[in-house]
Structure 1
Amino acid sequence: MKPIVTIAETTQPDGTVLALQEHDGRRFLLSDNVQIASPATKVSERELARIACAPFRPIRQPRIWVTGLALGELLEGLAESVPQKRATFYVAEPSDELADWHREFYPEGTFATDKRVFRVHGVDTGALNSLDSPLHGILLHADTAPLHPRGRGFFEDRRWLSVAYDTLQEGGLLAVASSRRVPKMDRNLENAGFEVAYHEIDAIPNARRPKTHHLWLARKGDYTSHAH
């Protein structure tokens, strides 16, 4: 049996131990020994980006926010789905060490090489409010995104959802994916003012035992009339 190799490890300011591991050619990101990003989340991260960004393909300068860097799969999916050279990708990643790992261990990845990528050092409402232009999209995978200081997902925080809504331009989308069905997700998004559509993602294509991940598309207003 091939061993599990710890490539890098660090203790975050809040005491959380973040680790990058590899086993049999596959990499995993762990937080306090719990996997938060792995091959198991890759498909739904890519599908999150593909489905959420489809309406913005005709736009010349789309501005998309990615909540957390993780193993980079969501960002890679975004780069594939939004080829426009004048696009802007804001990657909200509070961990300096994780950003450094990407530059060291993924030197050819989108985060290290794509000039459209700008790192934002926080995920909270202050980080969203710091942007100088409205966003077309906000992407968040519940399994891989950084957690709220209270230990829950930012998508569960009413104030964060309200600021996300205000940060989006008319027709913009907040897209949230998860490996589990999140209770009250639809209601929380609707209470923040969004129109919500729910989709299911086949997280393990062609598997004998299908694995379903979940995707919520939360729209602010009318895309066709107002998004540019």
Structure 2
Amino acid sequence: MKPIITIAETTLPDGSVLALQEHDGRRFLLADKVQVASPATRISEHELARIACAPFRPVRQPRIFIAGLALGELLEGLATAVPQKRATFYVGEASKDLADWHREFYPEGTFATDKRVFHVNGCDMGALKAIDSPLHAILVHADTAPVLAKGRGLFEDRRWLSVAYDSLLEGGLLAVASSRKVPNMDRNLENAGFEIAYHQIDANPNARRPKIHHLWLGRKGDYTSQ
């Protein structure tokens, strides 16, 4: 049996311990020994990027914000879904150590090599407000994105949703994926002003039974090609 290897650890400002582990070639991210990112969400993270960014494939300079770096799978999916050389990918990640781990241990990954990637300190309201150009899309995977106080997801906070809405250009999308059906997601997005579309993702297409993940797209108004 192959061992679990702890590649790196750090103590976060709230006192919790963040650890990067690897087992049999697979990576895991744990906070206080609780798994917060794993290969289980890889497919839905890639599908989140593909579906949310499809309307902006004709755009020459799309600007996309990702909430949290995690294991980098959402960013890898985004880099594939958006091939434009003049795109800008903002990765909102408060943990400098996690960003450094990607550069040190996975130097061939998108975060370390793609010049379209810009590291933003966090993904809270302040981080969104600091971006000086309107965004085409904001991507959040509920399983891997950082949470707010008391363990609340970004998409559960009325103020964060309001800032996200204001940060998007007309026709821009807030896309949220999750391995579980999130209570009140439709209502939260509607109350923030978004028009909603819902998709299901088979997160394990090779299994006998489908593993359904959920995707909500919140659109701000109507998009006009720029």
Q: Distance in 2 between matches of 1:139 and 1:28?
A: 21
Which residue matches 2:138?
A: 138
Which residue matches 2:178?
A: 178
RMSD over equivalenced CA pairs, Å: 0.8
Q: Distance in 1 between matches of 2:60 and 2:27?
A: 35
Task: State the percentage of identical aligned residues.
Answer: 80
Report the residue type matching 2:206 in the other structure: N
Report the residue type matching 2:128 in the other structure: L
Q: Distance in 2 between matches of 1:147 and 1:39?
A: 20
Q: Please, what TM-score do these two structures have when normalized by structure 1?
A: 0.97
Worse-matched range after superposition: 110-119 or 30-39: 30-39
Which residue matches 1:102?
A: 102
Which residue matches 1:82?
A: 82
- Structure 1 position 208, deviation (Å): 1.5
Contact 1:66 1:89 in 2 (8 A): yes
Which residue matches 2:56?
A: 56
In structure 1, runs of 5+ residues without a counterpart are none
Q: Distance in 1 between matches of 2:76 and 2:84?
A: 14
Q: Secondary structure at the match of 2:10?
A: strand
Q: Please, what TM-score do these two structures have when normalized by structure 2?
A: 0.98
Moved over 2 A (4+): none
Which residue matches 2:115?
A: 115
- Structure 1 position 33, deviation (Å): 1.2
Q: Distance in 1 between matches of 2:126 and 2:23?
A: 37
Contact 2:138 2:175 in 1 (8 A): yes
Which residue matches 1:66?
A: 66
Q: Distance in 2 between matches of 1:97 and 1:121?
A: 12
Q: How many residues align?
A: 226
- Structure 1 position 209, deviation (Å): 2.6
Q: Distance in 2 between matches of 1:218 and 1:2?
A: 43
Per-residue CA deviations over 1:136-173 (Å, capped at 9, x if unaligned) read 00000000001113321111000000000000000000
Which residue matches 1:148?
A: 148
Q: Distance in 1 between matches of 2:96 and 2:104?
A: 12
Q: Secondary structure at the match of 2:188?
A: helix
Which residue matches 1:202?
A: 202
In structure 2, runs of 5+ residues without a counterpart are none
Which residue matches 1:128?
A: 128
